[in-house]
C-alpha cells in the first residue's frame, strides 16, 4: 500500500504562519513600547522627552526626576498592567463562552467589584490594597456567576450580554445609592469608578502585578482544555475535557485578572471587549494565534496598547491641565460603546427573538376593577407623597395651602414638595406610555426607553444644556433632552432596523448607546465642573429634587397629547403589535405608523428625563404588568400602564424621600433595583 508523502506546501504554510505571527507580535510589542515612551513624556509638569532621558541617565534636575519616577513611570506601568490583564480576561471569557461580546464589562464583573468595594467602604473598615483586590474579586466573581447562571452559555450570543448589561445597571444603581447616602465613607469612589491609571508611586503596581501573573499562568496551564472547548462541548468531552470545570476555572481566573485591574485603576471600561476584537482578524490570518497559549498574551498586548494609546490620544487632543482630570476609563468606554454597537449589528442571535406574551383575554369587569383599584392607589400615593417627607403635614395644611391661607413654613414645604410629586407621577406615566408604544411597534418585550438608550440620549442633551447654561428655562431643557433623545433614537432604530425590530440586538445596540451617553455625561461633568460629582449622581439617579411647576408643564402637555393619541389610534397599535403582514393587508401604512409612534415615545421619554432625570425599567415593567392584568388590547393596556407607571415612580420617589429622611435616594435607583430582577426574569422565561 502506497503512502502519500506530505504536500510540500503544507509545512511551509505552517512555518509561514508561525513566522508571520512572530512578526505581528514583534510589531505589537514595538507599538506598545512606543505608546509607553510617549506616555511618560506627557503631563502637566514641563517635563518633556529630554528631561525624561536625563532622568533615566541620572543627569536630571531632582524635581524633574521626582516627577518621572513618582508619577509618569507608575502611570505608564499601571496602563500596561491594566490593559494586559483586561485584554487576557476578555479573551478567556470569550473563548470559554464562545461569545464574541463577552468581557468583564458585559458580564457585570466590574459592576460586581464596584458594589463590593462600595459595601466595604460603607462598613468603615480600612482595607489595604491587596485585601481590596480580594473584595473586588469576590464581588466580580459573584456577578459573573449570576449572569452565566441565568442566561446560560449556550443560550445565544446576545442574550448573555443582555443579562450582564441589565445586572450592571442594577448593581451600579445600588452602589450609587450608597455613594449618595454615605458621602464621607465613599469619598472618591465615584471618581475611581470612572477608571484612571494615575498613580502615586509603584506600590499599587507592585502589589497587583503578582495577581496578574498568577491569572496568566493559570490560563496558560488550562490553555489546551480551552482550545478543546472551541471544538464544541461534545467534542471536548470526547477528548476527556471537563467542560464545566474548564469554564468555571477560566471564569475564576478571568475574574482574578479583572479584580487586579479594578483594584489598581478602577473599572477601565471595555478593554476586555475591544482587545480580543482587535486580535480576531489576526487569528483568521495566522493560525498560530488561534491557540489560547499564543492568543491570550497577544490579547494582553492589544489591551496594553489600547489603554496607553487612549491615554496618549487624550493628552494629545486635550490640554494637559484638562486632560489630567479626565479618567482614562471614560475614553475606553467611548471606544468600547462604538465596538459594542458595531459588533451587535453583525453577530447572529442564535436564540432568536425574545418570547412574546401569551394572548390573554380579560373581561370588561376585570378591566374596570383593575382601573378602579389603580386609580385609588394613585390617589393614595399622591396624598401620602404630599403629606410625608422630612416634614409631616396634615390634610388640613394642604387645604389651607390650596386656598392661600397656609403659614410660611407649611407654604414653603408644599411649594417645594407638590412639584416633586407631580413630576414623579407624570414621569412614571410618560415612561410607561413610551414603553408601551415602543414594545408594540417593535414587537420586542425587552424594549423600553432606558434599555434602548433613548433616556441616556435625553439625559446627555439635558446635562449638556444645564452645565453650559445653568439658568436655562424648563422648556429649553426639555428641548435639549428631546434633541439628545432623537439623535440616540435615530442611531438605535436605524442600526437595528436592518435585522428586524424583533431581534434582541435592538436592545443590545440600545445598551451600547446608553453606555456611550453615560461616558459622555461623565466626561462633560469632569470637564465643566470636576468637583461636583454629586450633580451627576443626582441627575443620573432619577431625582425630582428641586423641581418646580414650570419644570412639570412641558411633561404634562406632552403626556396629555400622548395619551389622547394612543387612545385614538389604539386599533393601529393592536395591528402593529401582531406582525408585519396583517397591517399591510388592511391597508395600514406600517412604516408611517411605526415612525409616528416612535417619535411620540421619544418625546415622552425626553420630557420625562428633563423633569425627573434618568429613571429606568418603568417602561419595561408597566406594559408587561398591564398586559398580564387586562389583556393585549391597547384600549385597555394604555390607561392601565399609565396608571401603573405613575404609581410605581410615585411610590419609588416617596420611599426614597421618607425612609431615610432627611437623606434621599433617587426614584431611578429604586426602580432599577426592582426592574433589574424583572428584566432577568424575562430573559430566563424567553430562554425556556
Q: Mind listing the pLDDT tens digit for each residue in 92-146?
A: 988 888 877 788 887 888 888 888 888 888 887 777 777 888 888 888 888 888 8
Q: CA-to-CA distance for 453 and 438, rounded, in angstroms? A: 12
Confidence category of residue 351, pLDDT binned at 50, 70, 90: very low
Q: CA-to-CA distance for 35 and 450, rounded, in angstroms? A: 37
Please report the DSSP string for 556-589 in residue order. HHHHHHHHHHHHHTHHHHHHHTT-SHHHHHTT--
Give the pLDDT of residue 500: 54
Give the pLDDT of residue 495: 79
Q: CA-to-CA distance for 523 and 529, rounded, in angstroms? A: 10
The pLDDT tens digits for 186-222 are 766 766 777 788 788 788 888 888 988 998 999 999 9
Confidence category of residue 269, pLDDT binned at 50, 70, 90: confident
Confidence category of residue 80, pLDDT binned at 50, 70, 90: very high
Asked whether the beta carbons of 462 and 427 are under 8 A apart, the reply is no
**What single-letter DSSP state applies at residue 5?**
P
Q: What percent of the chain clears pLDDT 70, i.e. is strictly above it?
A: 81
Give the pLDDT of residue 11: 41
Please report the DSSP string for 408-443 in residue order. HHHHHHHHHHHHHHHHHHHHHHHHHHHHHHHHHHHT
Q: How many Cα neighbours within 13 Å face the side chain of 418? A: 14
* Angle at which helices 505-528 and 157-181 cross, to 10°: 30
**What single-letter DSSP state applies at residue 446?**
T
Does pLDDT of 357 surpass 60?
no
Confidence category of residue 497, pLDDT binned at 50, 70, 90: low
Q: Among 122, 117, 153, 121, which residue's Cα sits nearest to residue 137?
A: 117
Give the pLDDT of residue 687: 60
User: 437623606: which residue's cell?
Assistant: 663
Does pLDDT of 642 surpass 90?
yes
Higher per-residue pLDDT: 457 or 357: 457
Q: CA-to-CA distance for 91 and 298, rounded, in angstroms? A: 10
Higher per-residue pLDDT: 538 or 656: 656
Average pLDDT over residues 345-374: 68
Higher per-residue pLDDT: 8 or 494: 494
Does pLDDT of 154 surpass 60?
no
Highest mean pLDDT among 62-66, 367-371, 547-551, 571-575: 367-371
Confidence category of residue 316, pLDDT binned at 50, 70, 90: confident
Least confident of 319-328, 360-369, 489-498: 319-328
Average pLDDT, the chain: 79
Check whether the bond before 662 is cis (ω within 30° of 0). yes
User: 479584580: which residue's cell?
Assistant: 259
User: 388640613: which residue's cell?
Assistant: 396
Does pLDDT of 536 surpass 80?
no
Beta-carbon count within 10 A of 77 CB: 20
Higher per-residue pLDDT: 25 or 660: 25
Average pLDDT over residues 167-191: 75
Q: Among 298, 216, 227, which residue's Cα sits nearest to residue 257?
A: 216
Least confident of 72-86, 218-232, 419-433, 575-589: 575-589
Average pLDDT over residues 147-152: 72
Phi, psi of 99 (to 5 degrees): -135, 110
Instruction: Name every residue whose Cβ is closer than 8 Å to that of residue 149 and which is 6 or more positions away in sequence.
Output: none
Confidence category of residue 3, pLDDT binned at 50, 70, 90: very low
Q: CA-to-CA distance for 232 and 650, rounded, in angstroms? A: 50
Higher per-residue pLDDT: 571 or 434: 434
Give the pLDDT of residue 538: 63
Average pLDDT over residues 345-355: 54
**What single-letter DSSP state applies at residue 72?**
I
Instruction: Name every residue whose Cβ is closer than 8 Å to that of residue 121 and which is 6 or more positions away in sequence.
Output: 178, 182, 185, 186, 189
Higher per-residue pLDDT: 35 or 323: 35
Q: CA-to-CA distance for 275 and 339, rounded, in angstroms? A: 10
Kindly state the cell numbers that stand for 187: 469619598
Kindly state the cell numbers that stand for 602: 421619544
Does pLDDT of 612 surpass 90?
no
Does pLDDT of 644 surpass 80?
yes
Asked whether the beta carbons of 501 and 441 are under 8 A apart, the reply is yes
The sign of the dihedral angle between the CA atoms of 179, 182, 183, 185 is negative
Higher per-residue pLDDT: 336 or 3: 336
Give the pLDDT of residue 1: 39
Q: What percent of the chain clears pLDDT 90, i.e. is strictly above it?
A: 12
Confidence category of residue 586, pLDDT binned at 50, 70, 90: low
Higher per-residue pLDDT: 435 or 519: 435
Q: CA-to-CA distance for 160 and 156, rounded, in angstroms? A: 7
Q: Which residues of 174-194 are buried (b: 16+ CB within 10 A; e: fewer)?
A: bbbbbbbebeebbeebbbbbb
Give the pLDDT of residue 265: 84
Tell me the residue ranges of DSSP E strands in 409-555: none
Give the pLDDT of residue 8: 42
Give the pLDDT of residue 355: 44
Q: Among 313, 291, 254, which residue's Cα sits nearest to residue 106?
A: 254
Give the pLDDT of residue 337: 83
Q: How many residues are given for the chain?
A: 688
Asked whether the beta carbons of 519 and 334 are under 8 A apart, the reply is yes
The pLDDT tens digits for 7-66 are 444 444 556 567 777 888 888 999 999 988 888 887 666 665 666 666 666 665 666 566
Average pLDDT over residues 161-175: 80
Instruction: Name every residue whose Cβ is closer than 8 Å to that of residue 435 and which is 6 or more positions away in sequence.
Output: 447, 448, 449, 601, 618, 619, 620, 622, 623, 641, 645
Amino acid at each position: 500500500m502506497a503512502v502519500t508523502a506530505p504536500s510540500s506546501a503544507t509545512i511551509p504554510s505552517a512555518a509561514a504562519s508561525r513566522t508571520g505571527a512572530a512578526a505581528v507580535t514583534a510589531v505589537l510589542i514595538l507599538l506598545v513600547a512606543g505608546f509607553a515612551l510617549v506616555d511618560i513624556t506627557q503631563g502637566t509638569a514641563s517635563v518633556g522627552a529630554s528631561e525624561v532621558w536625563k532622568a533615566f541617565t541620572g543627569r536630571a534636575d531632582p524635581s524633574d526626576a521626582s516627577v518621572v519616577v513618582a508619577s509618569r513611570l507608575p502611570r505608564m506601568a499601571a496602563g500596561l498592567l491594566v490593559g494586559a490583564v483586561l485584554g487576557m480576561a476578555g479573551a478567556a471569557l470569550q473563548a470559554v463562552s464562545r461569545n464574541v461580546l463577552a468581557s468583564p464589562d458585559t458580564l457585570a464583573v466590574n459592576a460586581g467589584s464596584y458594589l463590593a468595594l462600595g459595601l466595604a467602604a460603607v462598613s468603615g473598615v480600612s482595607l489595604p490594597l491587596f485585601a481590596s483586590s480580594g473584595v473586588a474579586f469576590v464581588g466580580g466573581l459573584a456577578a459573573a456567576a449570576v449572569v452565566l447562571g441565568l442566561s446560560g452559555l449556550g443560550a445565544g450570543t446576545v442574550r448573555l450580554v443582555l443579562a450582564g448589561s441589565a445586572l450592571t445597571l442594577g448593581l451600579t444603581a445600588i452602589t450609587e445609592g450608597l455613594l449618595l447616602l454615605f458621602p464621607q465613607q465613599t469619598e472618591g469612589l465615584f471618581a475611581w469608578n470612572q477608571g484612571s491609571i494615575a498613580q502615586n508611586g509603584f506600590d499599587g503596581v507592585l502589589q497587583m502585578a503578582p495577581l496578574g501573573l498568577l491569572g496568566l499562568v493559570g490560563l496558560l496551564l488550562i490553555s489546551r482544555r480551552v482550545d478543546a472547548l472551541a471544538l464544541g462541548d461534545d467534542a471536548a468531552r470526547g477528548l476527556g475535557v471537563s467542560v464545566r470545570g474548564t469554564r468555571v476555572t477560566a471564569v475564576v481566573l478571568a475574574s482574578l485578572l479583572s479584580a487586579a485591574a479594578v483594584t489598581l485603576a478602577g473599572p477601565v471600561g471595555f478593554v476586555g471587549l475591544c482587545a480580543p476584537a482587535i486580535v480576531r482578524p489576526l487569528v483568521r490570518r495566522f493560525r498560530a494565534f488561534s491557540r489560547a497559549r499564543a492568543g491570550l498574551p497577544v490579547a494582553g498586548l492589544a489591551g496594553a496598547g489600547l489603554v496607553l494609546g487612549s491615554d496618549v490620544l487624550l493628552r494629545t487632543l486635550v490640554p494637559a491641565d484638562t486632560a489630567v482630570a479626565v479618567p482614562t476609563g471614560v475614553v475606553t468606554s467611548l471606544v468600547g460603546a462604538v465596538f459594542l454597537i458595531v459588533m451587535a449589528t453583525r453577530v447572529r442571535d442564535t436564540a432568536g427573538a425574545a418570547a412574546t406574551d401569551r394572548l390573554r383575554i380579560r373581561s370588561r369587569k376585570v378591566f374596570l376593577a383593575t382601573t378602579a383599584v389603580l386609580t385609588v392607589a394613585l390617589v393614595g400615593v399622591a396624598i401620602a407623597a404630599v403629606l410625608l417627607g422630612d416634614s409631616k403635614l396634615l390634610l388640613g395644611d394642604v387645604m389651607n395651602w390650596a386656598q392661600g391661607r397656609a403659614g410660611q413654613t407649611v407654604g414653603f414645604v408644599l411649594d417645594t414638595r407638590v412639584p416633586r410629586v407631580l413630576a414623579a407621577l407624570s414621569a412614571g406615566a410618560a415612561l410607561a406610555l413610551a414603553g408601551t408604544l415602543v414594545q408594540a411597534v417593535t414587537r420586542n418585550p425587552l424594549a423600553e426607553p432606558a434599555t434602548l438608550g433613548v433616556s441616556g440620549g435625553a439625559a446627555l442633551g439635558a446635562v449638556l444644556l444645564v452645565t453650559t447654561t445653568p439658568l436655562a428655562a424648563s422648556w429649553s431643557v426639555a428641548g435639549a433632552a428631546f434633541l439628545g433623545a432623537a439623535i440616540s433614537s435615530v442611531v438605535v432604530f436605524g442600526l437595528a432596523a436592518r435585522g428586524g425590530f424583533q431581534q434582541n440586538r435592538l436592545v443590545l445596540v440600545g445598551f451600547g448607546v446608553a453606555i456611550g451617553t453615560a461616558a459622555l455625561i461623565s466626561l462633560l461633568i469632569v470637564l465643566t465642573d470636576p468637583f461636583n460629582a454629586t450633580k451627576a449622581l443626582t441627575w443620573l439617579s432619577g431625582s425630582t429634587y428641586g423641581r418646580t411647576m414650570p419644570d412639570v408643564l412641558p411633561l404634562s402637555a406632552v403626556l396629555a397629547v400622548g395619551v389622547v393619541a394612543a387612545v385614538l389610534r389604539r386599533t393601529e397599535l393592536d395591528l402593529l403589535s401582531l406582525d408585519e403582514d396583517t397591517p399591510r393587508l388592511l391597508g395600514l401604512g406600517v412604516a408611517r405608523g411605526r415612525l409616528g409612534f416612535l417619535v411620540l415615545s421619544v418625546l415622552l421619554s425626553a420630557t420625562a428625563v428633563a423633569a425627573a432625570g434618568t429613571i429606568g425599567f418603568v417602561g419595561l415593567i408597566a406594559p408587561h404588568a398591564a398586559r398580564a392584568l387586562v389583556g393585549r388590547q391597547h384600549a385597555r393596556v394604555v390607561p392601565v400602564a399609565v396608571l401603573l407607571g405613575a404609581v410605581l415612580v410615585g411610590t419609588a420617589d416617596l420611599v426614597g424621600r421618607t425612609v431615610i429622611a432627611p437623606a434621599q435616594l433617587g426614584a431611578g435607583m429604586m426602580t432599577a433595583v426592582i426592574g433589574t430582577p424583572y428584566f432577568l426574569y424575562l430573559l430566563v422565561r424567553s430562554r425556556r
